[in-house]
Amino acid sequence: MTATAPVLVALHAHPDDEAIFTGGTIVRAVEAGWRVVLVVATDGDQGAGPDCGRTPLGARRRDETMAAAAVLGVARVVFLGHGDSGYGVPDGGRSGTATARSLQSGTLAAAHVDGVAAVVRRLMGDEGATALTSYDDNGIYGHVDHVQVHEIAARSVEGTECELYEATLDRRVLRVLRTGMVARGLLPDLWPPSLTARLGVEHGPAMVAVDVTPQLDRKLLAVAAHSSQVVEASSFMGLPAGVFHHLLRTEWFRVARRGRGRFLGMLEATDGLAPAPTESATVPAPGQGAARPVLTG
């Protein structure tokens, strides 16, 4: 790293979020000479899978995160040490649906946004952060911890020069995919229209799509490093496996704070920006990607 290398801080709620939602973009930034710092707010101790022998799930997931970070080329990993609030989602839950666990002290959902933001802001200052990534205001799919990360990030960049990009999913793409899947008679029951309506955000001018096809192999290796969460032939957020894998080739961000636009400039300079979706978007063939690892959520 040179003294002038731009710095991307990727703020995430749980181990594996970094790989699924931003893994390809992280690899792209590293390839372009950026220093990437991964900040994970919880150790994901409420994730799928039992504690393994004497190793609690949270400890195992921290190890998995370090392995995934190494695959992605992340320079530094910071755990903020909050408790996972558990998957208590979404009834459309815009502001994050509270779960019994999320109200317990120690969880990220129960943490004071200003306090966590102060920690993140100090870290951003130490690193000389150029850009920060977080999640859209629905936490991509309504998870309370993700919504909290959205709030923390928005607070963290206040009064700084740091650019802010919020990971999301493009609902228009999801609708096109669903239409195509239904037309083929594929598993419509697993993917009701109500699901499409509550994942990600509507397409808009502030949204950018990052093509991570060249980075996909490393992204999938990073996803697979979270082996406690990998279950083959399952689905993620209700999406059929083929569709989920199709989506992994693209990472969407809402440009919340463009600033000097250095992060967007990097994406543009490396041909990383994908064109806006059209009605003719390709729909995955039956079984496509079925051999690849899928997370349960």
- Cα 262 to Cα 14, 125, 162, 259, 292: the distances in Å are 27, 17, 10, 8, 34
Residue number with CB closer to Zn ion (14 or 28) = 14
Residues 3-62 that bind Zn ion (CB under 5 A): 13-14, 17
Minimal distance, residue 152 CB to Zn ion, in Å: 14
Say which DSSP state 229 is in: G
Minimal distance, residue 145 CB to Zn ion, in Å: 6
Minimal distance, residue 76 CB to Zn ion, in Å: 20
Residues 126-185 that bind Zn ion (CB under 5 A): none
Residue number with CB closer to Zn ion (40 or 216) = 40
Residue number with CB closer to Zn ion (17 or 137) = 17
Minimal distance, residue 56 CB to Zn ion, in Å: 18
Residue 13 contacts residue 42 (beta carbons within 8 Å): yes
Minimal distance, residue 167 CB to Zn ion, in Å: 11
Strand 131-135 and strand 76-82: the pairing is unpaired
Q: How many residues make contact with Zn ion (CB under 5 A)?
A: 3
With a CB cutoff of 8 Å and minimum separation 6, the contacts of 112 are: none
Cα–Cα distance for residue pair 54/205, rounded to 1 Å:
50
Residue number with CB closer to Zn ion (13 or 230) = 13
The H or E element spanning position 67 is helix 57-72
Residue number with CB closer to Zn ion (130 or 133) = 133
Cα–Cα distance for residue pair 10/134, rounded to 1 Å:
7
With a CB cutoff of 8 Å and minimum separation 6, the contacts of 294 are: 230, 231, 232, 233, 234, 235, 236, 241, 244, 245
Shortest CA distance to 241 belongs to which of 190, 202, 167? 190
Residue number with CB closer to Zn ion (143 or 249) = 143
Minimal distance, residue 22 CB to Zn ion, in Å: 12
Residue nearest to Zn ion (CB): 14
Residues 58-87 that bind Zn ion (CB under 5 A): none
Minimal distance, residue 135 CB to Zn ion, in Å: 9
Cα–Cα distance for residue pair 128/131, rounded to 1 Å:
9
Dihedral class, residue 96 (left if φ above 0, else alpha if ψ from -120 to 50, else beta): left
Shortest CA distance to 297 belongs to which of 15, 12, 10? 15
Minimal distance, residue 14 CB to Zn ion, in Å: 4
Backbone angles phi, psi at 35, to 5 degrees: -90, 130
Residue number with CB closer to Zn ion (15 or 289) = 15
Residue number with CB closer to Zn ion (35 or 150) = 150
Which positions touch Zn ion (CB under 5 A)? 13-14, 17
